[in-house]
Structure 1
Amino acid sequence: MTRLSVEMLAADTVEPITSAGHAQLGIAVLLGIAVIVLLITKFKLHAFLSLTIGSLALGAFAGAPLDKVITSFTAGLGSTVAGVGVLIALGAILGKMLADSGGADQIVDTILAKASPRSMPWTMVLIASVIGLPLFFEVGIVLLIPVVLMVAKRGNYSLMRIGIPALAGLSVMHGLVPPHPGPLVAIDALGANLGVTLALGVLVAIPTVIIAGPVFSKYAARWVDVPAPDRMIPQRASEELEKRPGFGATLATILLPVVLMLAKALVDIIVDDPEALVQRTFDVIGNPLVALLAAVIVGIFTLLRPAGFGKDRLSGLVEKGLAPIAGILLIVGAGGGFKQTLIDSGVGRMILEISEDWSIPALLLAWLIAVAIRLATGSATVATVSAAGLVAPLAADMSTTHAALLVLAIGAGSLFFSHVNDAGFWLVKEYFGLNVGQTIKTWSVMETIISVVAGALVLLLSLVI
């Protein structure tokens, strides 16, 4: 069973761990989030401990048995670390290889030489959008972060001026454009046309990413003026390298996971036969773990060997690359644990039951349901799957274009206001060296802009096509 199938099953069929009514459950969610924010901001408690305590508090407020709350939290933590943690680790190794070999310097120097200060945010959003097309958001983050941080540091740019466009490019692709898993699940559930959804998704994505990326980054840089955190920039080896890998070889290594995952997505669409050998083959080589692992292995020959690295230095390089991410893994894992506690408490089901009585236009209804589930559970995928399942009957009488717009409305709503119950929130916070308030002012606001702008564009398109 695929990871998406498991999430769909969890969202649709698992009995909640509490019998609390809607009012008690809603209050429990607010109090659980308040506990986390208060512990981090007021008492300066580490985010991992705060998320753990907040999850237990949520269960207690909701009247759930604490043994079941603990089981939900640890299951969520484990699945998040299993899925995202390995990708973060491989990305950290690849980033260290890029830094120590001089490959990252080669990429950064080329970007700085070719792009003017005025065009730099636009360059970053373009790079992120292209790289993010076939990638899971987390994979795109770990591939782009070293480049983003080094460009900001070397070019003396505000981190938000460079980082927000990159994050916007990744997030918009993730929520609106197939072959990302969220849009694909919604397309399947609603019986929408993939080609039409892709075309309209790109049409909506372009203005959305411009507004949420380069335009919003001007204001984000004023609100949160922070430098690139030194601890997250892979430090180059102390000795000067006599030579470093070429730009072409470095770029090919970075893009290898992108190519492998895009190839998998295309084969899935064209072949569409899970039993076919070619599709099964590409399902393996296009898996995010295998694709990143392949890039690390290829990087030994394209990055380290040209820089004069021997076999004896590889183990030490990997160890140094993994050291800075231990805290990130625990925090992101705990964020996943809190999210799973919310889901198992029945928050998603509560939103669905309440929304059954809403009498508003289908596209707006789909967006609002996805927003509500996203806010409550922190999971864009659960929001997409649940909202698509609820509004699927409405798509039966829709035209091809309006069914595609319904998919995009759900995708837009699923990105609304990422906050402390979203593992992605903690990923961005730790990589960029921000506090909770700064992350909300930048990342959370950016996600909300993407959701609102994309949702508004979908509604406008529905009036003219």
Structure 2
Amino acid sequence: MGAVTGTTLLVYALIAVIALVVLIARFKLNPFITLVVVSVLLGFAVGMPMGDIVKSFEAGVGGTLGHIALVVGLGTMLGKMMAESGGAERIANTLIDFFGAKNVHWAMATIAFIVGLPVFFEVGFVLLVPIAFNVAKRTGTSMVLVGIPMVAGLSVVHGLIPPHPAALLAVTAYGADIGKTIMYALIVGIPTAALAGPLFAKLMDRYVKLPEVNPLADQFTEEDERVKASHELPGFGITVFTILLPVILMLIGSWADLFTTPKTFANDFLKLIGNSVMALLIAALVSFYTFGKARGFNRETILKFTNECVAPTAIITLVVGAGGGFGRILRDSGISNAIVDVATGANVSVLVLGWLVAVMIRIATGSATVAMTTAAGIVAPIAASVPGTRPELLVLTTGAGSLILSHVNDGGFWLVKEYFNMTVTQTFQTWSVCETIISVVALLLTLGLATLI
């Protein structure tokens, strides 16, 4: 624990966040370098032992990138194969034909809601972003109109709906019924996703103008000339199967105990292929056939695609990792605990307390998963001592709190910024506000539901 305590810790944390925003947005400094410098200075200012500052930062980067670097790398390869084969264009065409060009924002929110169910936000993001780029290109619309509904759909299921890992942990901590939780989460989640996604994106599209050229979008929308010449797009069925394969494998993994006896070889194997990294690896290998060999590409061409697509993600991966390092400094310096103390000191209902504690941890650490799981651990004993608390609704308010105000210490913030080619200010105006709408609307709808049932 640092030498600085209480309110002073919160002041230092606030100064650090403001410094990050100003240095990156106003002075156009490299986000990765800025995050490293500000994190080290914050650790120094709050009195962390000097030998621990860099160790803490490295642990945060390692903890974040251990998962995300693999996910972004494999997901990007899968996305590149889908783009080069024309698969992304096939899905974009089918969605536009079904929903109509005027309703593409609803199409993206719908597909994100479905794909996002079993996968972490980052996994869903890298799976769907090639489709978003293609839909935007086909309809001549902005990534604000297409991308924000996509991230809203992913975010709602990430925070509210089991079998999502964080929601599942909260269900266990509170002793909630999973079936009822899913039912209530859908009642709350669908209108929340509609409001924070398509409706909010339609409004912001008027005010936020992105650059005409997005280098990353070009990666995912340039098909091989042979595909263009032949117009032989892969079938909708095989394309959807390949892109949903990781989702299917993850669902099988999370339900392994229903199909097989725990601790047996079959059970362990299903859980292995259901791991998000393994599921994406298998899907990427399958895509080399369905989007590669079956479309007439040879091994050299597939190798070229997979090498090409990883380079643009390098800086994104570094920035996301540095955001994790900053979050770890906030935790190890005691700032996260100071924020939680403020929340638990407030005299409010258990449902609102679950939301408040998750809000504070989310703002402090940047991770929705950490916020939801930590808040559930803190609030569960308090909830158990209060009669009449509905644990299913408590899962929802805690999940809602864990999504609020994504900012510079959240990997998701930088993913959205870099892929959508936004400035820091534009990312705050769109993504951060979208997340806050989800959090507040889901809380209000859950409190409304609590009065009815």
The TM-score with structure 1 as length reference comes to 0.92
Q: 1:405 aligns with which of 378, 393, 397?
A: 393
Gapped runs of 5+ residues in structure 1? Answer: 1-15
Q: 2:11 aligns with which of 27, 38, 45?
A: 27
Q: Which residue pairs with 2:378 in the alignment?
A: 390
Q: How far does the alpha carbon of each residue in 1:409-459 deviate from its partner, in whole angstroms, 9 at most, with x for none?
A: 100000010000111111111110011100000000000000000001111
Q: How far did residue 44 of structure 1 move?
A: 1.1
Q: Which residue pairs with 1:237 in the alignment?
A: 224
Q: How far did residue 399 of structure 1 move?
A: 7.4
Q: How far does the alpha carbon of each residue in 1:187-241 deviate from its partner, in whole angstroms, 9 at most, with x for none?
A: 1111111111111111110111111111111122122122575311223234545
Distance (Å, rounded) in 2 between the aligned partners of 1:109 and 1:449: 30
Q: Which residue pairs with 2:240 in the alignment?
A: 251
Q: Which residue pairs with 2:256 in the alignment?
A: 267
Q: How far did residue 386 of structure 1 move?
A: 2.1
Q: Which residue pairs with 1:299 in the alignment?
A: 287
- The alpha-carbon distance between structure 1 residues 351 and 316, as it changes in their structure 2 partners (threshold 3 A), is same
Q: Which residue pairs with 1:168 in the alignment?
A: 152
Q: How far does the alpha carbon of each residue in 1:124-182 deviate from its partner, in whole angstroms, 9 at most, with x for none?
A: 11111011111110000000000001111121012111111111110000000001111
Q: Which moved more, 1:191-200 or 1:124-133?
A: 191-200
- The alpha-carbon distance between structure 1 residues 431 and 371, as it changes in their structure 2 partners (threshold 3 A), is same
Identity of aligned residues (%): 45
Q: How far does the alpha carbon of each residue in 1:78-105 deviate from its partner, in whole angstroms, 9 at most, with x for none?
A: 2222210111011111111112122222
Q: Which residue pairs with 1:344 in the alignment?
A: 332
SS in 1 for 2:23: helix
Q: Which residue pairs with 2:68 in the alignment?
A: 84
- Conserved in 2, the CA contact under 8 Å of 1:96 and 1:317? yes
The TM-score with structure 2 as length reference comes to 0.95
Q: How far does the alpha carbon of each residue in 1:40-60 deviate from its partner, in whole angstroms, 9 at most, with x for none?
A: 122211111111111012112
- The alpha-carbon distance between structure 1 residues 133 and 147, as it changes in their structure 2 partners (threshold 3 A), is same
Q: Which residue pairs with 2:206 in the alignment?
A: 222
Q: How far does the alpha carbon of each residue in 1:328-374 deviate from its partner, in whole angstroms, 9 at most, with x for none?
A: 11111111111111111122222333334321111111111111111
- Conserved in 2, the CA contact under 8 Å of 1:159 and 1:225? no
Letter of the 2:271 partner, please give it: D
Distance (Å, rounded) in 2 between the aligned partners of 1:257 and 1:422: 24
Q: Which residue pairs with 1:61 in the alignment?
A: 45
Q: Which moved more, 1:270-279 or 1:171-180?
A: 270-279
- Conserved in 2, the CA contact under 8 Å of 1:28 and 1:59? no
Q: CA RMSD in A?
A: 1.8
Q: How far did residue 256 of structure 1 move?
A: 0.4
- Conserved in 2, the CA contact under 8 Å of 1:149 and 1:228? no
- The alpha-carbon distance between structure 1 residues 187 and 336, as it changes in their structure 2 partners (threshold 3 A), is same
Would you identify which runs of 4 or more consecutive aligned residues in structure 1 move more than 6 Å? 398-401
Q: 2:25 aligns with which of 38, 41, 44?
A: 41
SS in 1 for 2:72: helix
Q: Which residue pairs with 1:3 in the alignment?
A: none
SS in 1 for 2:405: coil
Q: What is the count of residue pairs matched by the alignment? A: 448
Q: Confirm or deny that 1:328 pairs with 2:316.
A: yes
Q: Which residue pairs with 1:10 in the alignment?
A: none
Q: How far did residue 384 of structure 1 move?
A: 1.2
- The alpha-carbon distance between structure 1 residues 353 and 21, as it changes in their structure 2 partners (threshold 3 A), is same
SS in 2 for 1:104: helix
